[in-house]
Amino acid sequence: DEQLLAEIDHRNIRLHEKVTGELVNQRYKFGRMLGQGSSATVYEARHKRSQREYAIKVIKKNDDMNDDESMATELDILKNVHHRYVLCCHELFETPQCIWVVMELIRGGELLDVLIEGGVYTERDAARVMKQAFLAVSYLHSLGIVHRDLKLQNMLLTEKDRTSDLKICDFGLSAQIQKDKLEWSDKDEVKKYHGLSDKWGTPQYFAPEMLWKAYGPQVDLWALGVVLFQLLVGRLPFNASTNQELFRQIERSPDHLKKLFAMGEWNGVSEPAKSLVSNL
């Protein structure tokens, strides 16, 4: 009805937003707010029919949101990733003004919080966490996904317990490498790929290749090395008051790590564990 559509336009009623928003509210009962950022708010929610609990991330499409290309990449990844150790998306609703991402509800919090509250990990506990992280990252790389921001804050635990499952989250800075640019079954080819150039992520976790603006999936393995370092001794391997000094440490990592391994905090750590940190 042209007259009705004209009246809707005249009153500035965002029909698509209202209909989709009503659909979300028909399906889910929203609970307490779990967190809030510049463009997104996360709520606890319950599916009205199944009574299953979820977390719903409500993203407002405003100036604080990631650019359109990054947002499209993140949503595409969320729709296609299904793995035990990766935070999964259950449903996705989108309008020109807003996005509702219905995700698993994770109660354990960030791996960073667990580390701060409970102190450094034993090698046995660290091995279990890292095995799950390696399996998740191997899966992501098999799909051509480079996370680019792996860190303790983007690794969640299903419960506040060191024996619970790990979940890798937050694909806001991730990249998808097209299948025609790389043969993913050839692991040597994957290791050599350096077709990405954007310097995105968290500087303390940057790999040297990211500083040189020529990198690929390898940067995720470097970041896991930084994570393992923190689990074993409770602090970052690369940390400085300026990015210039920080990047100098990263580029000279073999000498820098050699000095760190000589410190007393590493006395109780086995040689195989140190070797894994160095190789990553």
Catalytic residue numbers? 149
What percentage of the chain exceeds 70 in pLDDT?
A: 89
pLDDT (tens digit per residue) in 75-103: 899 989 999 999 999 999 888 788 999 99
**DSSP of the chain, one letter per residue?**
-HHHHHHHHHTT--HHHHHHHHHHHHHEEEEEEEEE-SSEEEEEEEETTT--EEEEEEEE-STTSPPHHHHHHHHHHHHH---TTBPPEEEEEE-SSEEEEEEE---S-BHHHHHHHH-SPPHHHHHHHHHHHHHHHHHHHHTTEE-S--SGGGEEESSSSTTSPEEE---TT-EE--GGG--TT-HHHHHH---B----S-GGG--HHHHTT-B-THHHHHHHHHHHHHHHHSS-SS--SSHHHHHHHHHTHHHHHHHHHTSGGGTTS-HHHHHHHHH-
Per-residue confidence (pLDDT) for residue 15, from 0 to 100: 52
pLDDT higher than threshold 60 for residue 13:
no
Please write the tens of the pLDDT for every residue from 230-250: 999 999 999 999 999 999 999
pLDDT digits (tens, 9 = 90+) for 134-146: 999 999 998 889 9
pTM: 0.86
